[in-house]
Structure 1
Amino acid sequence: MFALSNEEWRNVTILCKFLKVFYDVTCVFSDSNYPTTNLYFRGVWKVHKILLYTVKGLYSFLTPMVKQMQEKFNKYWAEYSLILSCAAILDPRYKLNYVQYCFNTIYDIHASDFVETILSNLRLLFDEYVKKSKSTSSSLAGSSNVSDKNPIDSGLDEHNDNSTDFGGYFDESDDYKRYLNESSTRSEKSQLNIYLEELELELNSQIDILDYWTKSSVRYNDLSLLASDLLAIPIVTVASESTFSMCKKVITPLRSSL
């Protein structure tokens, strides 16, 4: 009398497939190497997608449970999706195209609005790093005293000192540097734009992301600083068993070996 019917076994099979997605994502997030934000977006997007797919009512016995899960999920997704989407863009395997694809599967016609918000915020964040880098460079330049002058330059300086009738002393070198900086800013693409326009690496390629940005620091000096800060954010700060278990704390052999 307690044997499961064929329909109940079918429901068990469907439930196992549903929970398998959460199991796989949890295994990635609780890995002993402590993966960072470049893996967060892809994993949580899979969770988001399966919740949307299931709540449509294809499996009615799951709908009440999934609606509660979705309500809790949306709370955290709304709070953290922005900064961690930026981190996904800074993964050379994903970049902007992958983020666009993921948002298209979630938001359909409204996806472009979300992607534009993410991209504009990423640009603002990058601009802050550029400003910080320029202020650091200018302070270092100002602290260095260069006393050696070319004889010709010295002669020109003396000439300028004697030209008070024509507006006083004027050193064109500073103005010329300012002109070069302004013109380069107008004409050159930013490091972020150059990075986004390059082709992505293969999606499943096994690369060390932080090592990639270390090697790219010469080419993308400002962008690499931003990437290293974003990608260094840990996904979890506690073991997954501590998060979900109501029992005593579990210590794995890996952690107890220390």
Structure 2
Amino acid sequence: MANRMFQKFDKYWKDYNILLSLDVIVDLRFKMQFVEFCSKKLYGHGSNELSFVKSKLVSLFEEYMGLASKSSSSNTSKSSHSGIDDNAFLPLNIGIGYFYLDELKIDRYSKCDVLAFWKAYQFKYPELAQMA
């Protein structure tokens, strides 16, 4: 029975939905550190799964950057309204450190409305707010 349970556990964690990780990353209580912690516990240090999450996050962010640049080229008032340079959101280092990820997390036990946060910060982090 334990072997069957382990096989089921392994099956579901092997092919988990990448959106679960992305949801945690945009939650200002957890961000990338929690995904890294869980990945290390489940798959070991430097796992392919963590690299996959990071690459998906980068590609998704770049897709939103592309959408934003297309809309800003047709509507120049958007970029001047945000007051943020598009290059400010490019990875700061190899380890996917966006300005948002580098900011301090809030206490994980505090009540937090993640969607309300992203609505309030939509001009500071427009692409990340759309992703959230």
If the length of structure 2 is used for normalisation, what is the TM-score? 0.77
Q: Secondary structure at the match of 1:109?
A: coil
CA contact (8 A) 1:88 1:95 kept: yes
CA contact (8 A) 1:129 1:222 kept: yes
Equivalent pairs counted in the alignment come to 118
- The equivalent of 2:33 in structure 1 is 97
Distance in 1 (CA, whole Å) between partners of 2:60 and 2:101 is 15
Distance in 1 (CA, whole Å) between partners of 2:58 and 2:45 is 23
From 59, 70, 73, give the equivalent of 1:124: 59
AA paired with 2:129?
Answer: S
- The equivalent of 2:88 in structure 1 is 189
- The equivalent of 1:214 in structure 2 is 119
Q: 1:202 to 1:68 in 2, by over 3 A?
A: same
Aligned-pair CA distance for 1:110: 4.3
Asked if residue 72 in structure 1 is aligned to residue 4 in structure 2, the reply is no
Q: 1:136 to 1:189 in 2, by over 3 A?
A: closer
Q: Secondary structure at the match of 1:205?
A: coil
Q: Secondary structure at the match of 2:107?
A: coil
Ranges in structure 2 where 5+ consecutive residues have no aligned partner: 77-84, 91-96
Structure exhibiting the larger radius of gyration computed from Cα positions: 1
CA contact (8 A) 1:86 1:119 kept: no
Runs of 4+ more than 3 Å apart: none
Distance in 2 (CA, whole Å) between partners of 1:77 and 1:108 is 14
Q: Aligned Cα RMSD in Å?
A: 2.1
- The equivalent of 1:161 in structure 2 is none
Q: Secondary structure at the match of 1:97?
A: helix
Distance in 2 (CA, whole Å) between partners of 1:123 and 1:74 is 26
AA paired with 1:98?
Answer: F
If the length of structure 1 is used for normalisation, what is the TM-score? 0.42
- The equivalent of 1:225 in structure 2 is 130
Distance in 2 (CA, whole Å) between partners of 1:79 and 1:102 is 15
Cα deviation digits, residues 138-166 of structure 1 (max 9, x gap): 2335xxxxxxxxxxxxxxxxxxxxxxxxx
Asked if residue 140 in structure 1 is aligned to residue 42 in structure 2, the reply is no
Q: Secondary structure at the match of 2:106?
A: coil
